[in-house]
Chains A and B, each alone.
Chain A
């Protein structure tokens, strides 16, 4: 029942949101709804052993072999928890932003949450595809309506890219469906296919799925939509896009691609890994040159996601474990960065690093919190990302699925150093040095933002020091996925 509630609460409250008369009411309503979702999600964690609450299955399209079946396992629990935490954080941290037609804005935000939840809990391929698209449409409208100057072109590019990818995935899904013995879209019958489909077929099926997921993550060379879209979207939407939506791509690979097509994944894993590596280096180098805060964070995100994708293809339990925890961490860390970007942009009406400086003197609380978030992004020990990246690196290095494990480890390691370069450089230029005309009247942050950042910092350090609960949560699912990936004819 829990997964159904996770979808229904935002869905219904989202539709209701369209009918709220004033914008302020809609703001409170959406915050209320997202907090309820968070509580339900936490309740789902606490009854980890109560299987009956975590699964739901009902008839939907019987003739087509598709059922409305949703379930929460470790993987979907961690991602739905991330989604559930993110939305209240987003709503509170952007509480002071004013939007035209605010009720529509908040209603669409809730609808996108419903879509994201659906993606993470669906165990039926057609249902998964439905939610995959359902998450996209509200975000398209949000970015196009409330974004920056070049929003229409930027988000349209984003939409066409992702839509093309998902149509290719649809072809793949239908093809797999026609191969299932009982003509079913269920995850289990997809998992039973690995021995029935020949290696050559798995090869091209791999690409149908991987392109869809690679566009979403994004992986080089499918990433070109991302910096523009992040830059042009309103910050609240950018948080959704970068904190949660990119996880849809990683989630797709972990749940719907690698275990379903193990031979295809094994055959093309090196190619995909090479793309990840190229993307990481490329994005890190560009991030170093950026003067716009939003674009800097966007490119740093490409680099981090590339590492996670690389660790998936390493096909080791330890690496996969790292991916699981890092998906959560990356969401928390990047939302923290966006909160800061949002504060800076609202106060100074600029995102140019070169126009800012000396903020630490004027806003010490902000500076401390940002530094912690930024260091977490660089994966310093004691922060959450260190745990994830350490596990991923050891997974990549010990990988037997590829012969280039050392090369991959070393180049990926270089990217981590580069990420320290651009993050610290950004901190130095924005927060230290002398104040200028623009920043000398800077105020420190408001209490609501301070609380949000403090909460994020607490999560960062708590997971950094004691990651065991999350590792326990995802242990079973990691075992079963890696076992499936290791299938060889």
Chain B
């Protein structure tokens, strides 16, 4: 989302911290994300009183209590609806919605879909830890098939949702991914989300240290990330690897991993183009997954120009009002009244 930059006293990270004790488990990835958001917000040039953080239910959804802004911790899955109400009522606010894989993609998937298609100017951060943490460790809609948990002792049998494909399928205008392990990348991604006018959907890989520790370890750990993470930069070829010697090439409609050299040059590789009008490229990125492919991180889709819901709605109201404020007495009287004389 984007909001007009306003002059004011410079804010810093501390201005966004509350005196409340943060009650996530020691080592939880949420701490890093909170830290990243508290670093991001002061840099946006928006007065603190214009931020509203809205969440649903789950570990991630305790987030508003730790942000010294206006905040609303709502009910399970329904944060998109409350965030919509806030934004429609006052489009001047910078609305941040915090959700998780259960909250956003299971009980609240329907609302998330409608938020994305309506393109309200709201930033959605979906903390994906592929587990139900607050209810103590049942599998979630993003858990991999065969996930053994207390509710699936023989392994889960249902195919997981890919959050990015869900967002792209809902025709979201901004889709990105980042990880709780990379502070700098989180801040960059959140800033990009804020600068986009329209709903910005950001999946954040988040580690649940208690119930699903290291679920993204093979991708994001210090040892593996160079070879397993593909950092996206607009206009740059899709290159990854510790030696920057691997890339992604298109073979027909299929992406393939190639090694640079051996007759393959950077010119043969796909160029990152998040603003492409057609979402096929973003879908291609979103489907690249471990272990066959490196995991893309960054902004996968950014479609500018689609009107936001709140702007369209407010325009209709202004247009109706430009012809003169309504006269209530005329409204009540209608066209078919009659008079009873004394």
**A and B physically associate:** no
Which residues of B are in contact with A by a Cβ distance under 8 Å? none
